[in-house]
Structure 1
Amino acid sequence: MAEDRLSQLPDDILHLILDKIGIFQAVETAILSERWKKLWRSLPALRFHFSLPKDSYLSPCEHNRSQVLSHCHRVSRFLSRRDASAAVRAFHLSFRSNNASAAAHVLDLSLGINSHLDGGVESSFVEDCARYAIHHGVRSLHLHCHDLRQTWLPAEIFACKTLKELDLRDFIVNHKELDLPELEKLTLLKYLVLVPLVINAPKLRLLKLYGRIAVERIHAPLLTSLTYKSSDAWECADADLPVLEHVYLDIHKSRYCRDQNHTNFLAMLHQLRNATTVSLTLDTIKVEHSPNLLVIADEDDMAEEGYDFVVYEDGYEYGNA
């Protein structure tokens, strides 16, 4: 019999191999030999990605709900059988629809329209997953649940001392302060933020905000990259971003919000004045005819602030002179 040299590799190497296949396929390797029987139970990277039925968001039904609940049960059973002493480096959970029209529907709703879609992920399940990850020292946490149920996130997420990367999409947030001392990358796409956020992340380097997310104050002295996509400019009272380099702004019209107010746009640009380059989409710089909208000042006004301008085919960019 040929020597099984693969099984002689250390756990860290075998974990890397298992990480290249689906997590439930990794469980199936337990039948290979005694060496592999419990290896999956200490996997440090837990990634659960599920594709939902084609019309689960547009035509909810009991069948769709049963499929979603089945996925949740598989995750819960996996976690219950995992080695409780094993650390979690990454925990990613996502439920996505394969239907392009459903994806567009979700994108529109992300602008802040409240709705109720049946057949979705239970709030208690998401909370249990998040707490499991946090209690096991998670460093990268992704939670994507395209659902407008009232899915609340536990407060522990926003004060986690181990997180380096946080990506949250489509949740209701009722927690004001994000105090994350080790965080380096933050992505937020939410349907509803009940209170303006105070972001305190001294090591944050990359920030992406999508949707109508209110930010009251942000302290990120090492932030170098900011992406902001919304139907409104932000109204941030205090932005501490001294080393900001790259900014991408996409402030666009929403078909749901007819009376949009962009009067804060110039104030927003002033807060981002330390940036080396600021890229604006054509939607952002488009001059609206409504008297309630002010999208961008002319070049002469901005030149007084010390900026040079470059116009591209698909947008507008200016940088410090």
Structure 2
Amino acid sequence: MRGCVEEFHPAIGFSPGESTKKPGLMEEDRISQLPDQILQQILSLLDTNQALQTTILSTRWKTLSHTLPDLRFHLSRFAPSNNPKTAQPLSHRFSHFVTRLLSLRDGTAPIHNFHLSFDTHLLIHADQSFIEKCILYAVNHRVESLRLHARCRPDITLPAAFFASTTLRELELRQLGRVICSPEKLSLPYLKTLFLDGCWFGHGDYYDPPLKEPFSGFPELEKLTLRRCVFYELVVKAPKLRFLEIVDESLYAYGMEEISAPLLTSFRYEAKLPFHCSKVDLPMLEEVYLDINYKQQPDNIYNYVNPTTMTLRCVRMFHLLGNAKIVALTLDTVKVLEKYRGLIEESPCPFPYLKCLKVMKGRREITTVLRRVMNYLTEGTLYFDSLVMLLPQDVTVVEKNSDDLFEDESDEQQLELLFGIEDEII
């Protein structure tokens, strides 16, 4: 006679199936016999809302849910909604759910990862006081990784206790807007990874500019990502920084005054306009990824950038990053260099230590690159004889194309433009 087996599913418990055991005998629950630490690791792979569903199994599983070291709350997994009318009420229910769970949690249990996300394409404003309470709760429970993704009104204020954390190693803030810091100086002495998307640090009045040097109090910072952030004359001084990423979707070049990172090995930059900075100190730079994706919109005078300015800024950007040995450029970036022949032909080699040049697909459909541009990027390098150059299979190197609109200016005029005039946007 065929009997019954119990198959375990983390979200719904046990379900009947087939077995060779005799009727009336219970299948041994081996998973519940595992140590608490292993079970917590299993539950940490789930969203917290899903992990809580295991509490129906037994008292032990309910106890485990009160001591989980990894808390991940995602609005989209809590109760997905595509209806704008129900989105904000759903947000309130979600906040109440998180608050309730934190109140029932074992207050002595530490938190390794605390992730809170109002991840929806709908415009939902999270409650500012709720977000601040979550931050304080996580810090008070010795959080190591803190990630927040929420649109908030008004601005978020980080309490002084936040900057006293000795355990925080990873911080990710998305869409929070302006983050007000209560202490006069930001200081997270043990932070190693910082990811900012659509937010910035500031003090005082809303109309005050963002902090000019916000990362000076992060001596252990190794990885910094800035996406769609607002900074003016930004200064980055980071003695242990190894990776820097900047993504800017606006029509303004990312304004930086200084980057001093003696251990930086990787720099990634994506924007509509080339990167520019008054002072750069990157002696250990190894890899560079550049994507300049400006595209003129027809009949839009506010979206027009002088082509000469684009080429000048691009050449200057290359020289600022001249220590790089592996350079990756999108085809959109390479196209910026095609307009003015004299400018690049008379300019010094931008990457004298280049060992590998990668040209990759960009946002536009581009199938050709000019030989003179490739020569400018590669000739004169110390490793020219062993240089590796990679191009997409369907891209051809040509002598001239229809976009080759060289303006007949003298070499002296071109060099004067390159090194002697201020940038100009028309």
With normalisation by structure 1, the TM-score equals 0.73
Paired with 2:111 and 2:348, the residues of 1 have a C-alpha distance of 48
Task: Give the counterpart letter for 1:205 in structure 2.
Answer: R
Q: CA deviation at 1:248?
A: 0.8
The answer as to whether partners of 2:178 and 2:201 remain within 8 angstroms in 1 is: yes
CA 1:307–1:219 in structure 2 vs 1: closer, same or farther (change >3 Å)? closer
* Corresponding residue SS for 1:286: helix
Q: Residue 167 in 1 paired to residue 195 in 2?
A: yes
Q: 3-state DSSP class of the match of 1:207?
A: strand
Q: What 5-or-longer segments of structure 2 have no aligned partner?
A: 1-25, 156-176, 203-210, 363-373, 384-426
Q: What SS class does the counterpart of residue 327 from structure 2 fall into? A: strand
Contact 1:242 1:274 (8 Å CA) reproduced: yes
> Which of 180, 186, 207 matches 2:224?
186
* 8 A Cα contact 1:134 1:160, kept in partner: no
Please identify, of 23-32 and 253-262, the stretch whose mean Cα deviation from structure 2 is larger.
Answer: 253-262
For the Cα contact (< 8 Å) 1:141–1:166, is it kept in 2?
Answer: no
After superposing the two structures, state which structure 1 stretch, 11-20 or 143-152, moved more. 143-152
* 1:301 aligned counterpart, secondary structure: coil
- State the partner residue of 1:142: 147
Give the RMSD, CA atoms, in angstroms: 3.8
**1:154 to partner: Cα distance:** 4.7
Structure 1 stretches lacking a partner, 5+ long: 56-60, 103-117
Show the counterpart of 2:67.
42
Structure 2 residue aligned with 1:90: 113
User: Residue 197 of structure 1 aligns with which residue?
Assistant: 234
The secondary structure found in structure 1 opposite 2:316 is: helix
Q: 1: CA distance between counterparts of 2:338 and 2:315?
A: 18
Deviation at 1:4, TM superposition (A): 4.4
What does 1:110-129 correspond to in 2, within 5 Å?
119-129=124-134
1:144 and 1:169 in contact (8 A); partners too = no
Q: 1:12 to 1:236 in 2, by over 3 A?
A: farther
Larger Rg: 2
CA contact (8 A) 2:195 2:225 kept: yes
Q: Deviations over 1:2-29 (max 9, x none)?
A: 6544334333212210012221111222
**Does residue 223 of the first structure (1) align with residue 264 of the second (2)?**
yes
| TM-fit CA distance, 1:245 | 1.4
Matched AA of 1:91? F
Equivalent position of 2:89 in the other structure: 66
Deviation of 1:210 (Å): 1.4
Cα distance change of structure 1 residues 247 and 289 upon mapping to structure 2, 3 Å threshold: closer
Distance 1:235 1:265 in 2: 9
Deviations 1:240-261 (A, max 9, x none): 3322211111122266861446
Q: What pairs with 1:4-19 in structure 2 (closer than 5 Å)?
A: 4-19=29-44
Which position in structure 1 is the counterpart of 2:369?
Answer: none
Structure-2 change in CA distance of 1:152 and 1:313 (3 Å): closer
1:152 maps to 2:178 = yes
On the 8 A contact 1:120/1:147 being kept in 2, the answer is: yes
Q: Read off the aligned partner of 1:314 and give its amino acid letter.
A: K
- Residue 285 of structure 1: aligned partner: 334
Q: Name the aligned partner's letter for residue 197 of structure 2.
A: R
Give the aligned length: 294
More RCO (CA 8 Å, sep 6+): 1
**TM-score in terms of structure 2 length:** 0.57
Looking at structure 1, the residues matched to 262 and 136 of structure 2 have their Cα atoms a distance apart, in angstroms, of: 29
Q: Secondary structure at the match of 2:126?
A: coil
Task: Give me the whole-angstrom Cα distance separating, in 1, the residues matched to 2:270 and 2:220.
Answer: 25
* Distance (whole Å) between structure 2 residues aligned to residue 23 and residue 259 of structure 1: 48
Alignment pair present for 1:303 and 2:349: yes
- Partners of 2:317 and 2:247 lie apart in 1 by 16
Code of the residue aligned with 2:347 in structure 1: it is D
> Where does residue 269 of structure 1 map in the other structure?
318
User: How far apart, in 1, do the equivalents of 2:256 and 2:108 lie?
Assistant: 37
- The residue that corresponds to 1:258 in the other structure is 303
Is the 2:337–2:344 contact (alpha carbons within 8 Å) kept by the matching residues of 1? Answer: no
Alpha carbons 1:146, 1:169 under 8 Å: kept: no
**Could you list the per-position Cα deviations for residues 291-318 of structure 1 after superposition, in whole angstroms to 9, with x for gaps in the alignment?**
xxx9x96366242752557464626886
CA deviation profile, 1:217-250 (whole Å, cap 9, x unmatched)? 3343332222111123333333333222111111
How many angstroms apart in 1 are the aligned matches of 2:290 and 2:350?
21
For 1:248 and 1:266, the matched residues in 2 are separated by: 15
Aligned equivalents of 1:193, 1:223: Cα separation in 2: 22
Letter of the aligned partner of 1:301 in structure 2?
S
Matched residue SS, 1:188: strand
Structure 1 residues 284 and 85 mapped into 2: Cα distance closer, same or farther (>3 Å)?
Answer: farther
- Please state whether the residue corresponding to 1:78 is helix, strand or coil: helix
Measure the CA separation in 2 of the matches of 1:224 and 1:285.
23
Contact 2:234 2:255 in 1 (8 A): yes
Code of the residue aligned with 2:247 in structure 1: it is: Y
Q: Is the 8 A contact 2:240 2:263 kept in 1?
A: yes
Contact 2:318 2:350 in 1 (8 A): no
- The DSSP-based 3-state class of the residue aligned with 1:237 is strand
Which letter maps to 1:152?
Answer: R
Q: Counterpart in 2 of 1:112?
A: none
Provide the rounded CA distance (Å) in 1 between the counterparts of 2:279 and 2:111: 35
2:134 partner SS: helix
Cα contact 2:111–2:138 (8 A) shared by 1: yes
